[in-house]
Amino acid sequence: MAKIKITGPCRLEGSVTINGAKNAALPCMAASLLTESSITLNNIPNVKDVDTLASLLNFIGAEINKKDNNTINIECKKIKNALAPYEMVKTMRASILALGPLVARNGYAKVSLPGGCAIGARPVEQHLKGLEKLGADITIEHGYIIAHANTLQGTEFTFDKITVTGTENIMMAATLAKGHTIIYNCAREPEIENLGQLLIKMGAKINGLGTDTIHIEGVNNLYSAQHSIIPDRIETGTYAIAALICNSKIKIKNCNPSHLIIPLKKLQEIGANIEFTNNEILIQSPEKLSSANIETNPYPNFPTDLQAQYMSLMTQAYGTSIIKENIFENRFMHVGELLRMGANINISGSIATVYGKTNLLGANVMATDLRASACLILAALAAKGETIIDRIYHLERGYVNLVEKLSSLGAVIQKIN
């Protein structure tokens, strides 16, 4: 089992290049099921979750060609298996993104319920309610979602909860429904807008991208398209926090600062000096970081996927910070590990109170989910001494070459077995 060893404290310098966003790549890949033509996606991140979804799409009937590490061509001429098996879905919940396209294209889909994960129960009833409103018959049998629909009918549907993949699933399904669909209370993440732009290139008729109300005029077919995946805003935020926790100055290249305006403003509030263009960020740490509170909320607010990383940073800030997690019910799994490194954090329900500045010491710790892994790495960069992080397979699901990138910035970090 691979682990990561870091010897801190580290200082960083130089520049880092951001890869394509995992959470934009996955829905765009799933969209290939909507057409028998081929789609080509550029700036795809070379991470485990992309490989997992590619395997599922291949099982369903798509031909996958990786032109290079970052370009993938997917062509699903025929649906061979309208099935997303439990063995595949349990390793990656985002497999649920096959549901909407399969029902729309094939009129039938059998997709394993994703089940929960470390950060929460993560139900998918909103996805199912949306598909039912579009005319699908949905039953749950032996842990599988069974969906039938001769043809989907345009409708008006309002999400009870803001859901990223729920919005993506219903938007994809509605592109092939008969008639007009209006979806209210949509999530507004940039990854959804990126998916919508691909669908429009494929021939879909969509208005309202980037807002909470999306209008779709159904079409009979979708066609070939080529599309670039947006830079990963969570990877960008992770490296910005790395610069601050290491009291350093770095340049972040090939990013899109407009996708993380609120997190960047928060980092400025705690003392960071940030200059940015449309695709680069120059971030410099102050001598002393100040504490500041955050609440995680749907885009464009502070993203839940940066909460753990920000918590690591607040252990190094002077003062008390209150972190409220509003999206997932169990996203403080990293706190126990931070406490073992010497952090002073108190949890009460969905609120964590961080008392800084504490001098962290290296320790043996264990990653519990993708973003908690990043949080522990950040803490280890600031900690005095050696930290060994176990279960780093979580990390490889969503970060491209994080060890190599941090090492090239000057961190004393390596992968060990």
* Contacting residues toward ligand EPZ, per CB under 6 A: 23, 26, 94, 120, 122-127, 161, 163-166, 187, 304-305, 327-328, 370-371, 398
Distance CA 85, CA 73 (A): 23
Nearer to ligand EPZ, 120 or 286 (CB): 120
Q: Cis bond leading into 266, ω under 30°? A: no
Q: Closest CB to ligand EPZ among 251 and 371?
A: 371
Question: Is residue 43 within 8 Å of 279, Cβ to Cβ?
Answer: no
Work out how close the CB of 286 gets to ligand EPZ at its nearest, in angstroms, rounded to a whole number. Answer: 28
The structure tokens listed for 73 are 């061509």
Query: Which one, of 189, 188, 232, lies nearest residue 47 by Cα?
Result: 232
Closest CB to ligand EPZ among 188 and 251?
188
Q: Where are the alpha helices (DSSP H) in 70-226?
A: 86-89, 99-106, 125-133, 164-174, 190-201
**Alpha carbon separation from 59 to 30, 50, 54, 80, 84 (Å, rounded):** 13, 14, 9, 8, 8
Look at residues 20, 16, 19, 35 and name the one whose alpha carbon lies nearest to residue 194.
Answer: 20
Q: What is the DSSP letter of 31?
A: G
Check if the beta carbon of residue 247 is closer than 8 Å to that of residue 287: yes
Q: How far is the CB of 77 from ligand EPZ (least distance, A)?
A: 26
Task: Find the shortest distance in angstroms from Cβ 410 to ligand EPZ.
Answer: 26
Beta-bridge partner residues of 146: 110, 139
The structure tokens listed for 151 are 């043809």
Cα angle 53, 55, 60; round to 5: 95
The residues that are catalytic are 117
Residue number with CB closer to ligand EPZ (233 or 251):
233
Burial class (CB in 10 A: 0-12, 13-18, 19+), 357: middle
